[in-house]
């Protein structure tokens, strides 16, 4: 998927043309994966002629929490980071659905792997964005031979750039073998998540998702959907270890994330999930989710920050 380059970037406390935001080859984060990032969606609301940013403060909070894992002291507060996202969006001027990428990274141009005595920098860019997984109605997934790093290897709760080498291993092996996405098991052999998504399954009217101690990212879409499943669809949601075999016996499986939104899984390792068709809970939840993110549900309007 080719990404159209942005016009502008927030870079080292200023908004500059994207082409002027450079890092040197020795940049610590580029060499050692010592960065943390966020992926946020902005949804174009045509009625209001505005982009609505979904759960901006939650994404900014997770970025700052992830930065603490990396011993980073970010110059901007959470409030100032959120303001910088909105300033950048105003400067970029997108009038369509978009993806926003804040990145806090150790910017020192120096040799030596460590987390201390380094200086973080913050960049933010935004690009137009559509579907991340084309087959949103039914992806074919495989259980990867790669395991998700354990919390004592690199905590999966945080969104650390270096961890994404693991996601890249799994995603490429899956795609090159003809699948749409990889599902990773954790150290103990329980289901953790997709290469860039949390996972839910529906069985006998109950929704199940791996608990946060199963080597998963603390997904903001995951948290939003737990609320919608419980409070709007009246379903019970279990957060617990999930066995691989449960995936194959589920009525419905779907992946959730900022990029993937709600992507139905129709097959796993050549076995149909449930009927193999888009399931009723997935469909209902997805319709509700899109109403929420586009700002059409008053109760959840607080999750949407308009770019004024």
Helix pair angle (56-69, 220-231), 10° resolution: 130
Closest distance of CB 100 from ligand PMP, Å? 11
The dihedral of CA 196, 201, 207, 210: what is its sign? Answer: negative
Unique residue bearing structure tokens 């993806």: 99
Residues 6+ apart with CB under 8 A from 292: 224, 228, 300, 303, 304
Between 118 and 183, whose beta carbon lies closer to ligand PMP?
183
- The two beta strands, 304-306 and 237-239, are unpaired
- Is residue 284 among the annotated active site residues? no
Residue among 162 and 277 whose Cβ is closer to ligand PMP: 162
Residue closer to ligand PMP by CB (options 110, 164) is 164
Q: Contact with ligand PMP (CB under 6 A): which of 219, 274, 279, 295?
A: 219
- Subset of residues 256 to 285 that bind ligand PMP, contact rule: CB under 6 A: 256-258
> To the nearest whole angstrom, how small is the minimum distance from the Cβ of residue 247 to ligand PMP?
16
How near is the Cβ of 106 to ligand PMP at its closest, in Å?
A: 20
Closest CA to 52 of 290, 232, 299: 290
Give rounded-to-5 percent helix, strand, coil for the chain. 30, 30, 40
Tell me: does residue 198 bind ligand PMP (CB under 6 A): yes
Q: Which CB atom, from 140 or from 157, has the smaller least distance to ligand PMP?
A: 157
Q: Cα separation of 159 and 156, whole Å?
A: 7
> CA Rg, the chain, in Å?
19
Measured in degrees and rounded to the nearest 5, phi and psi for residue 265 equal -105, 120
Query: Should residue 202 be labelled a site residue for ligand PMP when binding is judged by CB under 6 A?
Result: no
| CB 222 to ligand PMP: min, Å | 6
Footprint (CB under 6 A) of ligand PMP, residues 26-65: 39
Q: Taking CB under 6 A as the rule, does residue 221 contact ligand PMP?
A: yes
Closest to ligand PMP by CB, 108 or 181: 181
Binding residues for ligand PMP, rule: CB under 6 A, are 39, 167, 193, 196-198, 217, 219-222, 256-258
Active site amino acids: 159
């Amino acid at each position: 998927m080719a990404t159209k380059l942005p016009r502008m970037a927030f870079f080292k406390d200023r908004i500059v043309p994207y082409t002027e935001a450079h890092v040197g080859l020795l940049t610590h984060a580029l060499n050692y994966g010592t960065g943390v990032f966020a992926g946020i969606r902005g949804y174009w609301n045509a009625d209001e002629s505005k982009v609505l940013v979904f759960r901006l403060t939650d994404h900014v909070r997770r970025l700052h929490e992830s930065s603490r894992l990396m011993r980073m002291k970010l110059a901007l507060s959470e409030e100032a980071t959120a303001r910088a996202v909105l300033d950048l969006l105003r400067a970029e001027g997108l009038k369509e659905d978009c993806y926003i990428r804040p990145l806090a990274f150790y910017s020192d141009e120096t040799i030596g792997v460590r987390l201390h005595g380094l200086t973080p920098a913050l960049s933010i860019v935004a690009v137009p964005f559509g579907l991340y997984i084309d087959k949103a109605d039914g992806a074919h997934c495989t259980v990867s031979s790669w395991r998700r790093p354990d919390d004592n290897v690199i905590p999966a709760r945080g969104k650390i750039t270096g961890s994404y080498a693991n996601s890249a291993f799994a995603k490429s092996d899956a795609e090159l073998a003809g699948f749409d996405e990889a599902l990773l098991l954790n150290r103990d052999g329980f289901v953790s998540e997709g290469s860039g998504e949390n996972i839910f399954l529906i069985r006998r009217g109950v929704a199940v998702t791996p608990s946060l101690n199963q080597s998963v990212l603390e997904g903001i879409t995951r948290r939003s959907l737990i609320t919608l499943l419980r409070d709007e669809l009246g379903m019970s949601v279990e957060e617990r270890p999930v066995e691989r075999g449960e995936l194959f016996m589920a009525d419905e499986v779907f992946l959730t994330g900022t990029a993937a939104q709600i992507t139905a899984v129709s097959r796993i390792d050549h076995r149909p999930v449930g009927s193999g068709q888009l399931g009723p809970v997935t469909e209902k939840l997805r319709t509700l989710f899109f109403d929420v993110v586009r700002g059409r549900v008053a109760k959840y309007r607080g999750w949407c920050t308009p770019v004024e």
